Structure 1
């Protein structure tokens, strides 16, 4: 039976994995704003310290993607995801100690940094393990659908995690928030325990950088896509406020609406039509949205640009991810997925500081020009991938 015709239980298992990933990623999303507030208001340290406490988790994630992928290939996706969830819980406990009033403020901050480093590792291991496990359950032919579900879990956690984290911080304090961040991944781990494991594939292991050499084009395409999202998330509200426009807080709402709608109704497209045509259309739409934001004469045009950006960004990760798993044999899939995800992590982490310098010099609208140009370069890269000569699994 072809993989695309496998029965529904596999899909239900992957939905359960997505829910567990959503619960665990809430620990990342809830702490984004709350950690900064805790560092500045409770520990009495400056904004730079708060920013470092947030950013160090993402740095940890980027630096450990390759290791996490190799771990998934070696021990299997289920064990890898379960270890990631345990690391999440351990990170929550360590961050809980950062709220212990008996310690000096700087010592609590050091403990917090240790917990945040561990949190980034947990995110890396849990997500790569989940993707590897889910593709093993559903088959490579439905890898695009798997990537779509992963994105829904992650972005769904981002959507509710920010306000939920601030609410818990306000009502329960930092300790209460960290207890919640400890319990959520444990709940997720219990939920996925009954799901059958997929045995790791045997085969020759290749160095991480050699695998990056195979997948750099899909990875670069998804990284270039991420520039537009990062620019919108960081500077949309500031662009509106600088011009005195209303609705400054609706940028991510419009982006998210477009993003989720496409994932819900078109998440199967990479598996049906192939990742390259889906990515090409998506990057075209994203570029149009970013250029509209750059040239927008008023708030309604800018909101339309945010919506188009969300519509375009939505399917690039699953479309390119489905191409990545075609470039490597099954026993290297986890390493490839880890390296692929690192391209997007890098784009998200680097875009804000880089285009922030441009915004200071040229104004906020210029950052969306960069987003549009990045999506355009990504489109050209995808179109070049459609030429003969791309490696396929049989060649890998």
Structure 2
């Protein structure tokens, strides 16, 4: 009995080592690319407003244009990943990041011509957004294909850590670099990070592509995973409320520097992913999603009814914990709805719900703040999470009824 236990432990250890060897290059690649996204977010608002002399509306349009490009190319990214392979899709995405870095650099060189520079920045943001769409879809599909669908939750979890860590580190690093050396060096670093991303996955094997397989159209895949996608969309609103409006809440309440709120959310988000990365594969996406949504609701309500800065910080922490595992939890349920040959398309469609949520949550939350106050936004966030739970329950009951009918 003891020998069997030891043998199982050795097997598990080898499995973990194999997982790390296969997934680390992909995570490194994703981290490098999201460093470039964080770096541009850190310097572009100041560059557009103070160097190019445009107003806040233009700043918002420029920053948002990348997300729009990402959303609109999710279907294309999924198709390329499924039909040409994740490695090829990743390589094309990296080339686009290099191209965007060149465009960013040109905008800095021609900054004296305000409209030309602005046009170059807009173009670079669109290219950067397309690259992000291709790289994330490819990275998730590639990782799951290499380690197996049974570890899909773990793959999604570590990809998420790389993404958020890249943004969190990239923004302050770029601000320091700009003040020390100039913005051109920031944009050149975008190109260098893209090259690092390419080098990190250079030796990884490509996934086989079944060219003969008839793939479902994107709109049909959306229909298959719409339950999980809508659950993700509604659960993401709490995150959008914090990222967009917590600083204004702090100003309204005279609570001082809001950076602690962002840091608290980010810290607990990452810690939860690191400590509980195996929970989705171990306990199932449905259970993890329900528990996560319950915690996120509690966090949003705490912020909504907060009477002190510490109470709001506790709400940010709970929101970070709750939101952290929802993407991988619902994602594992989504990819079970399709064949491996449609996995890239499914992941692209699933992520599109997240993009759409972030795009719509800001304006709706802004209207709520105008009608009531900033704390009311977080009651909207809690209600959205509750709707995500209802959708999850509804889909589960529907599945049970279908099984009964088939039986």
Q: TM-score, normalised by structure 2?
A: 0.92
More displaced stretch, 96-105 vs 342-351: 96-105
Question: Residue 34 of structure 1 contacts residue 165 of structure 1 at CA under 8 Å; is this kept in 2?
Answer: yes
Specify the alignment match of 1:99 in structure 2: 108
SS in 1 for 2:109: coil
Specify which of 142, 157, 160 is matched with residue 148 of structure 1: 157
The answer to whether the Cα contact below 8 Å between 1:73 and 1:200 also exists between their aligned partners in 2 is: yes
| Divergent runs of 4+, >6 A | 2-5
Change (3 A) 1:139 1:296: same
> Is residue 2:47 matched to residue 1:38?
yes
Cα 1:362–1:388 shift into 2, 3 Å: closer
Partner of 1:136: 145
CA contact (8 A) 1:4 1:141 kept: no
How far off its partner does 1:340 sit?
0.3
Change (3 A) 1:3 1:121: farther
Alignment partners' CA distance in 1, 2:203 and 2:190: 23
Aligned residue in 2 for 1:228: 238
Find 1:125's aligned residue among 111, 131, 134: 134
**Structure 2: gaps of 5 or more residues:** 1-10
- Tell me the alpha carbon deviations over residues 303-333 of structure 1, each in whole angstroms, 9 at most, x when there is no partner: 1111000000000000011111101000000
> 1:98 is paired with a residue of what secondary structure?
helix
Tell me how many residue pairs correspond in the alignment.
392
Contact 2:110/2:116 (8 A) holds in 1 = no
Shift of 1:5: 8.4
In structure 1, the gaps of 5 or more residues are none
Could you tell me which of 17, 33, 37 is aligned with 1:24?
Answer: 33
The correspondence for 2:59, drawn from 50, 60, 75, is: 50
Counterpart-to-counterpart distance in 1, 2:116 and 2:12:
53
Deviations 1:213-259 (A, max 9, x none): 00001011111111000101111121122111245221111111211
The question of whether the paired residues in 2 share the 8 Å contact of 1:19 and 1:153 is answered with yes
Correspondences of 1:1-396 after superposition (within 5 Å): 6=15, 8-101=17-110, 104-202=113-211, 203-387=213-397, 389=399
- What whole-Å deviation, never above 9, does each CA across 1:66-90 have from its counterpart, x for those lacking one? 1101110011111111111111111
Query: After alignment, is 114-123 or 200-209 more displaced?
Result: 200-209
Q: 1:7 to 1:300 in 2, by over 3 A?
A: closer
Q: Secondary structure at the match of 1:222?
A: helix
Q: Which moved more, 1:365-374 or 1:39-48?
A: 39-48
Contact persistence 2:23–2:143 (CA under 8 A): yes
Q: Describe the superposition over 1:118-154 as per-residue Cα deviations: whole angstroms up to 9, x where unpaired.
A: 0000000011001110000010000000000110011
TM-score by length of 1: 0.95
Contact in 1 for aligned 2:104/2:187 (Cα 8 Å):
yes
Task: Name 2:8's counterpart in structure 1.
Answer: none
**Counterpart contact for 1:3–1:139, Cα < 8 Å:** no
Other structure's SS at 2:154 match = helix
Structure ID, larger Rg: 2
Look up the SS of the partner of 1:386 in the other structure: helix
8 Å CA contact 2:153–2:329 kept in 1: the answer is: yes
Distance in 2, Cα, partners of 1:155 & 1:264: 12
Residues 80, 89 of structure 2: 8 Å contact kept: yes
Partners of 2:111 and 2:347 in 1: CA distance: 43
**1:320-353 Cα deviation digits (max 9, x unpaired):** 1111110100000000000100111111222112
Shift of residue 174 of structure 1?
A: 2.1
Q: Distance in 2 between the 1:337 and 1:5 partners?
A: 28
Contact 2:161/2:270, CA 8 A, preserved across alignment: yes
Question: CA–CA distance in 2 between the matches of 1:108 and 1:3?
Answer: 54
